[in-house]
Each structure stands twice: as C-alpha cells, then as structure tokens.
Amino acid sequence: MHKFTRIALTAAASMAFSVSAQAAKYKEIDVSGGGTITGKVNIGSAKAKVQDYTISKNPEVCGSGNRTVSFIREGNGGLLDAVVYLDKVKEGKKFPAGLKKITVDQKRCEFIPYLSVMQNQGELEAINSDPVLHNIHTYELIGRARRTVLNVSQPEKGNIVTKKIKLRKGAGMKVECDAHDFMHAFVFVARNPYYAVVNDSGEFEIKDVPPGKYTIKAWHGTLGEKKGKVTVKADGTAKVDFTF
C-alpha cells in the first residue's frame, strides 16, 4: 500500500474513533418520570478478608507494630465498600456536585478516604500531610489486569499533586504507596451519575433513572464485578440483588 494512502486511512480511522468517542459522551438532561432501583449486594460465598502488614518504615509517623487492612468487609450479610452502577447510560440527570475533583489525603501513612468516587475525566488531588516521603501509585483495574494511571513521588509534607483521570475500560482504581506497602485505597470512577455506594448493610438506591432497560453492575475493588439486567418503568421501583 502506498505510504500516503496508509497515512490517510490512519487519519480517517483516528477521526472516526474521535467522533465515536464524542458521540458516546454522557448528556445531562431534565428527567421526567424517572424510576428508582433498590437492592442489596450480598457477600455470598466471599469471606471477610483482612491482611496484616508489618510497619517497617517511619514508625514516628506511621506507628509501630502491624497495620491491619480490611480488603473485604461484611455487614448484616452485605458486602461493604461496593458500588452499584448502570453501565453505558447515554443521557439522564446531572452529576452530583464534587465529583469533578476529589482529594485523597495521605495522613499518618493512611489514605483518606479508603473509598472515593469521582467523575471520569475529572481531577484527583493527592496531598501528602506527613513529614515523610510517599509515592502515590494508582492503577486502573481491568479484570485481573491493572494499568498505571498515576505514579508520583511526594517527598515533603504539604506536597500536592493533581492529575486528570481518564480510564479506558475499568470502573475503578487501586491506590497504593510505593514507599509503604500497608497503604491501600480504592477509587470508583463514574461515567454517569447512576451509581450508589452501598450502606453499612450492603443496601443501595439509585434514583431518577429514565425508563428503559439497563445493564447494572456491582463493583468491588478486591472482588471485581457482578452483572445483571434491570427494567425501569416510569415512576416505578425495580429491585436488583447481587451475590458475590
């Protein structure tokens, strides 16, 4: 194939992809007659999981002994730290305020909060509130694989890093510190506002859903995802449960 032809085809393909990506962008509209989805994420056969780490660095800030991290938590039979969301919604209600920029603080060698929610293509602000070096490292979770999104050293107290987050395929990120192996957190990255973080019993509620048929998923940073289908009627309530 002629070199010029290859370049032209590559440019055309790139333009088509760009147009397709723009067409897939979520559109905020006024929702009339929206329905509600309720349910519970059950822990099922999964078991509560904690892991102990030895604090071997910076005990004057991080503390001494062991740090226990609860990667899987249970409450009243429900799976905690889970997010339920509708997949591939084209249009609907506005995003909640505060999702375009979130803050993850590193304080006493712990990420605060442990679970965050932000809008895709929003900004993540990482603050080092400790007088020791941290290296924040975030990974996009794609099935069992993971892809580095942010990897920045923050050597001094008060250091702030801001990064635009644009995930390709995954629904969320794992957050780690390369300097302290006992620091862990997760970020759910929303492509539309139809999501809910479960309560302390694993229950959820998603409101103002335009009538229609949807794919609904339950996401957990450690356990992955479960998928289901739901039909929402005007001013109606649909119920969906998940079991891990």
Domains of the chain: 26-243 (2.60.40.420)
Query: What is the average pLDDT value for the chain, to the nearest integer?
Result: 92
Q: What is the reported pLDDT for 24?
A: 60
> Residues 6 or more apart from 147 whose CB is under 8 A from it?
139, 140, 168, 170
Q: Count Cβ atoms within 10 A of the Cβ of residue 116 and give its class: 0-12 exposed, 13-18 middle, 19 or more buried.
A: buried
At residue 18, the pLDDT reads 38
Task: Give the integer Cα–Cα distance in Å for 158 and 131.
Answer: 8
Q: Does residue 92 contact residue 197 with C-beta atoms inside 8 Å?
A: no
* Confidence label for 25 from pLDDT (cuts 50, 70 and 90): confident
pLDDT over 80 (residue 15):
no
List, for residues 61-73, the tens digit of each pLDDT value: 999 999 999 999 9
Q: In the sheet that 111-112 helps form, which strands lie side by side, from edge to edge?
A: 111-112, 101-106, 123-128, 160-164
pLDDT tens column, 167-214 = 999 999 999 999 999 999 999 999 999 999 999 999 999 999 999 999
Percentage, residues of the chain above pLDDT 70: 90
Q: pLDDT tens digits for 82-119?
A: 999 999 999 999 999 999 999 999 999 999 999 999 99
Q: Which residue has the tokens 């609860």?
A: 70
pLDDT score of 120 more than 80: yes
Q: Are 80 and 198 in contact (CB under 8 A)?
A: yes
Give Rg (Cα) of the chain.
Answer: 20
Length of the chain: 244
Which pTM was predicted?
Answer: 0.89
Single-letter amino acid code for the residue at 168 = R
* DSSP symbols for 18-62: HHHHHHTS-EE---SS-EEEEEEEE-TT---EEEEEE--S-HHHH
| pLDDT, tens only, 127-143 | 999 999 999 999 999 99
* pLDDT higher than 50, residue 219: yes
For residue 78, what pLDDT band results from cuts at 50, 70 and 90?
A: very high
Phi, psi of 98 (to 5 degrees): 95, -5
